[in-house]
Amino acid sequence: MRVLMISKACVVGAYQRKIEELAKFEDIELALIVPPYWLEKGRKIPLERLHTSGYELLVEPLALNGHFHLHFYPGLRNQVERFKPEIVHIDEEPYNLATFQAMRLSKKAGARALFFTWQNLLRRYPPPFSWMERYNLKSAAYAIAGNREGKEVLRAKGYRGRVAVIPQFGVDPEIYKPHAQEKREGGFCIGCIGRLVEEKGVDLLLHALSGLPGEWRLHILGSGPQKGRLQSLVQELGLKERVIFDPPIPSPGMPDYYHGLDLLVLPSRTRPHWKEQFGRVLIEAMASGVPVVGSNSGEIPQVIGDTGLIFPEDDALALREAIEKIRGDEKLRQRLARAGRERVLERYTQAQIAWETYQVYQEIK
């Protein structure tokens, strides 16, 4: 079967590993369309060519790059006519213009199309986005939701087609794997990775750590509009000597970063416009043998299962107790590290995600 995938997310080199795994299936001829870069909230994310074996990588410029809802590919028609796909996998939300563009071109070419959604909150959009969404929900041969609530949202919006719940990407367990601990100075090392925005709950983590006795350090990796406020909060709480803000690093450098952590915390909080959709840093840490603590926002409890600790979102005291529990119990840390790694190997490798995606292709070809 000839499969054309369209994915701006695959500018990130680590994500291309799933495409290589898909291309290993003997009955698939695969092409991937990516832009030369993606503008994420003003930050340019250039295309990383890390895993490009076994499939055709097609670089197509985006119009309105950086506009999540309105970007599209001016050259997509030519690529569809040239490649002649049987299946078009649109790695975009159903209310986006790029999805509408690709869905119409697929229909014209006689190809069957599917889209991907992370949306786990029931939100209604004004025209023209509601029109595009309605068309895409009606026209798609299949849908992939990245979390369980995403499937529920699709049903609530009237989608009656087939849906598979599959995360967008997994991890490569040969890249993200346990390693002899590269101890950082300052004792027990806690990591928090993600956008520095209010809903990610980094301020909650700082309050939870305030007054925590013993030797420990917190490394915060990320950027975002809340950075200045968080730095001020560090000062107010007297944590200047214990908290380090690390700048974002390219994806190939992330495995080494995890090797320096004793614990990863994802303290996300649900807001009217946002709920944690997955928490990729969790599976990266788990694959690396790093125990995890997460809030009960969105998909976090389903990702962690019983291989980490869950606390009620926005509860600083419960978060502190979870951190203290793991820090003070070496046997617990080792057990969670092993269990987390095993859960990733069972559910969240790139190969497993590719296999589940391949089963979708088999059903709709």
Q: What are the tens digits of pLDDT across the range 282-341? A: 999 999 999 999 999 999 999 999 999 999 999 999 999 999 999 999 999 999 999 999
Same domain flag for 203 and 156: no
Is the domain of 285 the same as that of 269? yes
For residue 112, the one-letter residue type is: R
Verify that 71 and 132 share a domain, yes or no: yes
CB contact set of 317 (below 8 Å; sequence gap of 6+): 208
Does 226 share its domain with 298? yes
Asked if the structure places residue 251 within a domain, the reply is yes
Residues 19 and 152 in one domain: yes
Residues 62, 208, single domain; the answer is no
pLDDT given at position 186: 65
Task: Give the C-alpha separation, 168 to 144, whole Å.
Answer: 8
Domain with residue 130: its CATH number is 3.40.50.2000
Range of the domain at 129: 2-170+349-364
State the average pLDDT over residues 37-41.
91
Q: Is residue 41 part of a domain?
A: yes
Question: To which residue do tokens 């001016």 refer?
Answer: 74
Regarding whether 159 and 212 lie in a shared domain, the answer is: no
Residue 44 phi, psi (nearest 5): -80, 125
pLDDT band per the 50, 70, 90 thresholds, residue 365: confident
pLDDT digits (tens, 9 = 90+) for 154-208: 999 999 999 999 999 999 999 999 986 655 666 899 999 999 999 999 999 999 9
Please list, in sequence order, all residues whose beta carbon lies within 8 angstroms of the beta carbon of residue 307, skipping any fewer than 6 positions away. Answer: 286, 292, 336, 339, 340, 342, 343
181 domain-assigned: no
* C-alpha span between 365 and 359 (Å, rounded): 10
44, with CB counted inside 10 A (0-12, 13-18, 19+), is: exposed
Domain match, 198 and 319 both: yes
pLDDT in tens, 225-238: 999 999 999 999 99
Q: Rounded to an integer, what distance in angstroms lies between the CA atom of residue 93 and that of residue 138?
A: 14
Q: Are 94 and 136 in contact (CB under 8 A)?
A: yes
* Within-domain flag for 46: yes
What mean pLDDT do residues 338-359 have?
Answer: 98
The percent of residues above 70 in pLDDT, for the chain, comes to 98
Residue 354 sits in the same domain as residue 336: no
Q: Does 177 map to a domain?
A: no
Task: Give the pLDDT confidence score for residue 183 in this predicted structure.
Answer: 59
Strand extents, DSSP E, the chain: 2-6, 29-34, 37-40, 43-46, 56-59, 87-90, 112-117, 142-145, 163-165, 188-193, 216-221, 243-246, 263-266, 292-295, 309-311
Q: Are residues 197 and 298 in the same domain?
A: yes
Co-location of 162 and 224 in the same domain: no
In a domain, 314, yes or no: yes
How many separate domains does the chain show? 2
**175 domain residue, yes or no:** no
Average model confidence (pLDDT) across the chain? 95
For 40, phi and psi rounded to 5 degrees? -105, 100
Give a yes or no: residue 183 inside a domain: no
Residues 105 and 93 in one domain: yes
